[in-house]
Structure 1
Amino acid sequence: MGEQRQHYNEEFKQRTVKYIQEQTKTVGEISLELNIPAGTLHKWLAKYRQFENEPLAGAQRVRELETLLREQERELKAKDRRLADLEEELAIVKKAVHIFSKPRN
């Protein structure tokens, strides 16, 4: 014979989803902790998830975003330098055009 299925009330499911959202643990780790199949927890998450209960970002995501930010700052500085060089070149060309376009006496 198979095992008897557990039945959980709606309030328990909602509290469990809130608990999952507030943790930095994976669903698999929480599944082992609560002795509830991970698939069941994923279904509950899909049904009861409320985004205001989630942390803004996990530590790993913060590191990824910081790395991305530094990379984009480097690119922006390089573009600023290139823009400054092009503006200087344009100013030189404008002066040259002005000098060479004057009528000779």
Structure 2
Amino acid sequence: MGEIRQRFTDEFKEQTVRYIQEQTKTIPQIAEELSIPAGTLQRWMSTHRKFENEPLLDREAIRQKDKQIHDQELEIEDLKEEIAILKKAMHIFSKERN
């Protein structure tokens, strides 16, 4: 026979997502703990996720975030330089020639 499908309220889903964000456990571990399929939890994460409660998992994650920030800062500096060059070029080429 068919399985009875559980229905969860939005409030329960939001609380569960908040719980997932506050844990350092993986989603499959939490899914087993709560007896809810991991795919369902993944779906809830994509729709109800708020980022203020998430801990950084480990030092490697912090290093990766720092590297990403550093790389983005370098890219921003390069883009600013390119914009400055383009502004100068535009100024030079837009002058009237006699």
- Normalising by the smaller structure, the TM-score range is 0.5 to 0.7
1:3 partner SS: coil
TM-score normalised according to structure 1 size = 0.57
Taking the TM superposition and a 5 Å limit, the aligned residue runs for 1:21-60 are 21-55=21-55, 57-59=56-58
Q: Partner letter of residue 58 of structure 1?
A: L
| Stretches of structure 2 lacking an aligned partner (at least 5 in a row) | 68-98
Aligned to 1:81: none
How many pairs align? 65
TM-score when normalising by structure 2: 0.61
Task: Compute the displacement of 1:63 (Å).
Answer: 3.5
Aligned to 1:5: 5
Which one-letter code corresponds to 2:60 in the other structure? R
Q: Percent identity?
A: 52
Q: Which protein is bigger by CA-based radius of gyration?
A: 1
